[in-house]
Chains A and B, each alone.
Chain A
Amino acid sequence: MKPAPDEAATAGKLRQQIAAQFGRSLHIRTLDTGSCAACEQEIRLLAAPHYDLHRLGFFFTPAPRHADLLLVTGPMVRAFEVAARKAYEAMPGPKVVVATGACALGGVYQADPFVHGQVGAVLPVDVWIPGCPPSPLALLHGLGVAVSRLAEKTPGLTFIAADESPGDGP
Chain B
Amino acid sequence: MPLWFARGLRRGVVTTRYPASPDGSAASLPTPPAFRPRQLSRQVVDRMVAECPGRALSRRDDLLIFDAGACTTCGRCARVAPDAVTSSGEFELTATARSALVKTIPILGEGQ
Contact = CB atoms under 8 A, between A and B. Distances in A.
A–B touch (CB < 8 A): the answer is yes
Interface of A: 8, 11, 15, 49-52, 55, 102, 105-108, 110, 120, 125-132, 135, 137-138, 140-142, 144-146, 150, 152-155, 157-161, 163-166, 169-170
A130 B89 contact: no
Interface string B85-98: 01111111111111
A102 B72 contact: yes
B91 A166 contact: no
B101 A105 contact: yes
Contacts of B33: 159
Given A141-B92, A155-B95, A159-B103, 11 more contacts: A49-B14, A107-B55, A125-B98, A130-B32, A137-B23, A144-B19, A150-B19, A154-B68, A159-B33, A163-B86, A170-B34
A170 B88 contact: yes
22 contacts: A49-B15, A102-B71, A107-B54, A107-B70, A108-B54, A125-B98, A128-B98, A129-B94, A132-B72, A137-B18, A137-B29, A137-B91, A138-B92, A140-B18, A140-B19, A150-B19, A154-B101, A158-B105, A160-B34, A160-B37, A161-B36, A166-B36
Contact of A164 (B16, B18, B36): B36
Q: Do most interface residues of chain B lie in helix, strand or loop, or is the interface mixed?
A: loop
A102 B71 CA distance: 6
Nearest to A107: B70
A152 B94 CA distance: 6
B96 A159 contact: no
A159 B15 contact: no
Given A166-B36, A166-B82, A157 B90 contact: yes
Contact of A105 (B29, B70, B74, B92): B70
Interface in B22-46: 23, 25-26, 29, 32-39
B100 to A, nearest CB: 5
A118 to B, nearest CB: 9
Contact of A126 (B25, B68, B86, B96): B96
A164 to B, nearest CB: 5
Contacts of A164: 36, 38-39
